[in-house]
A and B are shown apart, each in its own frame.
Chain A
Amino acid sequence: MKTISAFQSIEETTDSLGGQQYIANDEISTTVYLSQQLGKPLLTEGPAGVGKTELAKAIAGSLGRSLIRLQCYEGLDETKALYEWEYAKQLLYTQLLRDQLQQTLAGANSLAEAADRLTDEEDVFFSMRFLLQRPLLRAILSDEPVVLLIDEIDRADAEFEAFLLEVLSDFQVSVPELGTLAANHVPIVVLTSNNTRELSEALKRRCLYLFIDYPSLEQELSVVRLKVPDLAPQMARQAVELVQSLRQIDLRKHPSISETLDWAQALVTLNSENLDRTTLETTLSVLLKHETDLRKVQRQLGRMDGQDDDEDETDWDEELPRRRRRID
C-alpha cells in the first residue's frame, strides 16, 4: 500500500485515507489536513461507532506511522498515561550492584568524599533505563514520527484533561528528576470523545474540532460496498436504507456504522437472498443491542407489513413497569 510522509493537499488526504479503506468526506479530510498543517491536535466528537477511532488508524496507516493509543477511563492518572519509575527494578539493581557500590566507596577518606562519589553515580538510578514509558511519553520520545490516539477522553477525570494540556500544546513533558523531555517529532494527535460530558474550554481551545455524524445513505453504502464486497448491491442498498430509517426512530442506542457492517457480514454469511421478515427477525439482534429497542423495532416492522398484532396491550404492559423500574 502506498504511504506518504505528509499530506500535501486536501485531495491527497482524501485519496490516501481512501487507500486505508476509510471513506472521508470533505469535512473530515479538510480538518485532518488542517490539523497536520497547523500542528494542532484534532478533537473528534460524534455518536459511538461512526469511525472516530478508525480515522486515527487510517491516518497512521496512510502516513506509514505507528499508532500509539491511550484508552481513557475513570481514574486514569499520569502514572498510567505518562511515565512511572520502575522502583522494583531500581531496588533490585541497588541490591545487585552492592559490590560495585562498595568498591566505588572503598578508600574514601571521609564521609563527605563517599557521599560525593555516590552523588556522581546517582544519575544511573534516575535515568531513562528505569523510566517506564507510558503511551504519552512514548509518543513524545519516539524516534519515528507517530500518531497518538487519545481515545474517549470524556471518560477520564476532569483533572486529567488539565494535565494533558502541557503535553498537547508544547509536546513536552517535565520529569522532575530528568528535566524537560521535548518531542523529537511532533506527533499527530487525535482525541475522540463520545460527548458524555462537557470537555474543558482550555482543552478545546488547543484542538481543532471535527464533529462526525452518521453518514448519509450514499456514504454508508459505499462503506458497506468497500468492506463487505460480497453482499449483493441490491441487498446492500436495502440494508443501508433500513439502518438509516432505524436511526430516525427514538431508540436507546442507534445502530452504528460498525454494526451495519457486522450485519452486512451476517447477511452474507447466512446467504440471505432478500430482506424478508424471517431474515430480519433472526439477524436484527446484530444491529440492536437492547431488548426494548429490539421489540420496538419489530413492532414497527410488523406494522409496516400490515401484520399488526395486539400492540396496544404490549405497549401498556411495557411502559408502566419501566417507569417504576427507573427509580431504583
Chain B
Amino acid sequence: MEERIVKFISALRSGGVRVSLAESADAFSAVDNLGIQERDAFRLSLRATLVKDAESLPTFEELFPLFFGSGEPPPLMNLMEDLTEEEANMLAQALQEYGQRLREMLERLLRGEQLTPEELEGLGQMVGLNQADDLRYREWMARRMQRALQFEQVRKAMQEIMELMAQLGMNKERLDQMRQLIAQNMESLREQLRQHAGQRIAENMAEQRPEDQLEGLMDRPFQALSDSDMQKLRQEVRRLAALLRSRIALRQKRAKTGHLDAKATIRANLKHGGVPFHIKHRDRTLKPKLVVICDISTSMRHCSELMLSLLYELQDQVSKSHAFAFIDHLEYITPDFQGNRANEAIQQVLIRMPPGYYSTDLGHSLQNFADDYLDTIDHRTTLIVVGDGRNNYNDSRLDIFRKMARRSRRTLWLNPELPMLWGSGDSDMLDYLPLCDTILQVSTLSELTAAVDQLLVEKS
C-alpha cells in the first residue's frame, strides 16, 4: 500500500500539484490514523494532507480512483447460459455470417468475457498508450482502443444479428432482453478500456521524472521560448511575484527616511530606558499607479504576457493599474483580467484581435489612447510601454507620446531588442527614446523581474 501511495504522490506531482516531502509524511501519518478500510476516509485523509489548493482538487479527484479504485472492471453478463437450445442454434447460424475476427469479438460479447490483462496490454501498445503521460489523452486513448477492437463494426453486426434472429422467429420479449444485455456488456467493455487507459496513463505520470530546468529558462530570450517552456515560466512567475511582493513590503516597512514610527521607536529603545537612540521610520509611500501599454503582436507576445502576469500577481502593491494591448489598434484589457490568469486573458484579447494579417501600428494605437483613455494618466501614474518600437514605417505620432510622457510621473519603456538594433529598419525606438525617463532592455524573464522590481522601488 505504501508503495502505491508513493506512486500516487509522484503522479500528483507530475500532474502539476506541488507536494512537499513534509506533506507526504503527513499523508502517511493521516493514513495511519484513519486506516484504509473506509475508502472515503482514506481519500479525505490523503486529500487534506496533499492538496492545498482548490485548483488542484480536480486533478486529485481524477487520479485517486485510478490508483485506489476498486480495480475491478464492471462485470459482464453471460447471455449464452440461459438460451434454449433452439435459440442457441439460431444464434450460431446468425454468427456464421461474419469473418473470424469479428465473430470472436461478437462471441466474447455474448459470453460476457472481459478483456484479459495481456489483451489490454497488447491493445495499449497498438495505440501508443505507453507514451501518454497526461490525463487529457485518456478519452482519446480509450477511443483509439475501441477502434482497434472494431467496436463500431461489432455494434452494427449485433444489430444485424438481432434483426436476423427476429426474422428467424425469436420471441420479441427475449430479443429485447438480449439487446439490453448486449448494450450493457458493450458499455462495460468500454468502461474497462477507459479504466485501463486511465490507470496506465497515471502510472506513466508516476514514473515521469519531474523536470526542473527553470534556471536555464529564466535566462532564455523570449523569442526562443517554446509553448511548454512558457507553461513552466507561467508557474514560475507566481513564485517570483511572491518573492517580489515580500521584498517590496519589507522595503516599505523598514525605510531609512519617512514618517516617524512612534511605536516601533519606543519599542526599539526600551533597552535604553525610552531614550530614542534608534529612530524607526515607516514609509508608506503612495503605491504607484500604472498604465501599461503592451504590444501583443507575434514577436512581442511572450514578453508582454509575462510582464502582465507579473503585474497582475502584484496587484496588491499597486494602487491602480490599467492595461492596454495593441497591434494595429488599441484595446482596454483590464476587464479581461478579472477572474482570469494572464495567459487566458491574453488569449481572449487575441481572439478579438487576431494577429498576423495586421501590421503593428503604434502611432494609430497612441491616437486611440489619446482619444479615449488619456484621463487614465495623471501626475501619479507611471506609464509603461512594452514593445519593440517597430512601427512598420507608420507615423510614430511622437506628439501624442510626448503629451502622454509629460502628463505622467514617469515613463518607462521595456524593449526586448538589443540596443544596437534600435533605429534599424522600421524601428522608431530612437525617436521615442529621448521622451522616456527609463528604457530597459528586457529579453529574459530574469531581466523582466529585475525591471519590475526596480519599477516598484522608485518612490512615486
Contact = CB atoms under 8 A, between A and B. Distances in A.
A157, A200, A208, most chain B CB atoms within 10 A: A208
Contacts of A327: 322, 332, 334, 373, 375-376
B242 A204 contact: no
Contacts of B263: 79
Contacts of A326: 334-335
Interface in B18-38: 18, 20, 22-23, 26, 29-30, 33-34
A144 to B, nearest CB: 25
Interface in A295-328: 323, 326-328
Contact of B52 (A27, A34, A207): A207
Contact of B51 (A10, A38, A84, A209): A209
Contacts of A33: 34
Contacts of B92: none
Contact of A38 (B20, B29, B266): B29
Contacts of B246: 158-159, 162
Interface stretch (B42-50, B138-146, B299-307, B425-433): B42-50
Given A195-B54, A205-B52, A40 B44 contact: no
Contacts of B322: 327
Given A30-B41, A79-B267, A209-B47, 4 more contacts: A30-B45, A37-B33, A198-B238, A206-B22
A251 interface: no
A33 B267 CA distance: 41
A208 B54 CA distance: 13
Contact of B335 (A31, A84, A195, A323): A323
B332 A204 contact: no
A201 interface: yes
Contacts of A93: none
A91 B249 CA distance: 33
A118 to B, nearest CB: 12
A291 B182 CA distance: 57
B33 A10 contact: no
Interface in B31-73: 33-34, 40-41, 44-45, 47-49, 51-54, 57
B245 interface: yes
Given A38-B26, A198-B242, A26 B44 contact: yes
Nearest to B248: A158
Interface string B338-349: 000000000000
A97 B335 CA distance: 64
Nearest to A77: B253
Contact of A200 (B30, B33, B242): B242
A10 B52 contact: no
Nearest to A87: B266
A131 to B, nearest CB: 12
Interface of A: 10, 26-27, 30-31, 33-35, 37-38, 40, 43, 45-46, 79, 84-85, 87, 90-91, 157-159, 162, 195, 197-198, 200-201, 204-211, 323, 326-328
A328 B376 contact: yes
B98 to A, nearest CB: 49
29 contacts: A30-B34, A30-B41, A30-B45, A34-B34, A34-B45, A34-B48, A34-B49, A35-B48, A37-B33, A38-B26, A43-B52, A90-B270, A159-B246, A159-B249, A159-B250, A159-B253, A197-B316, A198-B242, A200-B242, A204-B53, A206-B22, A207-B52, A208-B48, A209-B48, A209-B53, A326-B335, A327-B334, A327-B376, A328-B375
The 7 closest A-B pairs by CB, nearest first: A204-B52, A30-B44, A208-B48, A209-B52, A31-B48, A37-B33, A158-B246
Interface in B360-411: 373, 375-376
Contacts of B51: 209
A85 B54 CA distance: 40
B171 to A, nearest CB: 44
B270 A34 contact: no
Contact of A27 (B34, B44, B49): B44
B242 A211 contact: no
A55 B422 CA distance: 61
B54 A40 contact: no
A200 B52 CA distance: 10
Contacts of B250: 159
Contacts of B26: 38, 40, 208
Nearest to A36: B33
Given A38-B29, A158-B246, A159-B249, A210 B48 contact: yes
Nearest to A37: B33
B270 A85 contact: yes
A26 B40 contact: yes
A325 B417 CA distance: 36
A219 to B, nearest CB: 16
Interface in B311-346: 316, 322, 332, 334-335
B274 interface: yes
Given A30-B34, A159-B249, A198-B238, A85 B52 contact: no
A201 B20 contact: yes
Nearest to A161: B246
B265 to A, nearest CB: 11
A182 B185 CA distance: 64
A130 to B, nearest CB: 10
A30 B242 contact: no
A46 to B, nearest CB: 8
Contacts of B34: 10, 30, 33-34, 37
A40 B33 CA distance: 13
A205 B57 CA distance: 16
A205 B249 contact: no
Given A26-B44, A197-B316, A158 B242 contact: yes
A80 B376 CA distance: 38
Nearest to A323: B335
Contact of A205 (B20, B33, B373): B20
B267 A211 contact: no
B41, B51, B52, most chain A CB atoms within 10 A: B52
A211 B54 CA distance: 7
Contacts of A198: 238, 242
A106 to B, nearest CB: 21
A162 B52 CA distance: 17
A208 B40 contact: no
Contacts of B29: 38
Contacts of A201: 18, 20
